[in-house]
Amino acid sequence: MMYPTYIVDNFFDNPEAIVNLANNLPFPNKGDQSPGRRTESLHKTHNDFFRWSGLRMLSSIFPGETLNFAAKASFQKIPKTLSEVDFIHQDTGPKLTAIVYLNKNDISGTSLFKLNTLFKPKTFKYVDIPTPPMKYDYFKFPEKYKGDKLKELQKEKETIRDRFDETLSVSGVYNRLCMFDGHQYHSQHPNTNKEERLTYIVFFYKIECLTAPLESMRKT
């Protein structure tokens, strides 16, 4: 099943409480496969919130249904000094990716892409797009990337971007939920507001709609 893109504004009833929760958590996970820092997986530390928020997200797709899911979720902070974050990529593991933007200044949303006609994929799910060799090293050690080294990283990023056309640009509006198929090519917008970016991110690996009339929907 290929999920369409969903955008829900004013997602949390009390977004200030969510921001407060995030700001009172440690962010120990730095620069592994993503820029900035992330909290521990919230199903381990705040399972009630994790379950509630995940079901609230999925109810936007399956309103009124009884749902179950398997997912990983965390808050993410990306410092204003991390300039090169707009690498196009896929989330090839999860079926559905969900992001809630938590900055009041509406900074740094998300763009979705398709391969342009020169690199049209045979299937939607996966195309071998090489990861720029310096990408994850930059996420871990951004302080090393200055001058010519930073220009080399930017060139690698742009070489990949040349293979794509943007299909949708989603502004990072405060308390907006954006959900899209995990195999959809996407990237964060460059942060031009010079403010730390805060988001809540959920990766759904299994989604069960227990009351759906079609058996196939229960196995998406």
Strand partners, 115: 164
- What's the predicted TM-score (pTM) here? 0.88
| Cα angle, residue 15 at apex, residues 170 and 27 outer, rounded to 5° | 85
Judge whether residue 125 has pLDDT over 50: no
How far apart, in whole angstroms, are the C-alpha atoms of residue 102 and residue 105? 9
CATH number at residue 113: 2.60.120.620
Domain range enclosing 34? 6-127+161-219
Q: What is the per-residue pLDDT across 27-75, written as a single tens digit (0 to 9) for each? A: 998 867 789 999 999 999 999 999 999 999 999 999 988 999 999 999 9
Question: Looking at 62-76, 110-124, 150-164, which range is the least confident one?
Answer: 110-124
Tally the domains of the chain: 1
Tell me which amino acid residue 49 is.
F
Task: Mention every residue, 6+ apart, whose C-beta is less than 8 A from residue 51.
Answer: 43
Q: Does residue 146 fall inside a structural domain?
A: no
How far apart, in whole angstroms, are the C-alpha atoms of residue 121 and residue 115? 7
Per the CB < 8 A criterion, the answer to whether 53 and 201 are in contact is no
Among 191, 202, 157, 170, CA closest to 7: 170
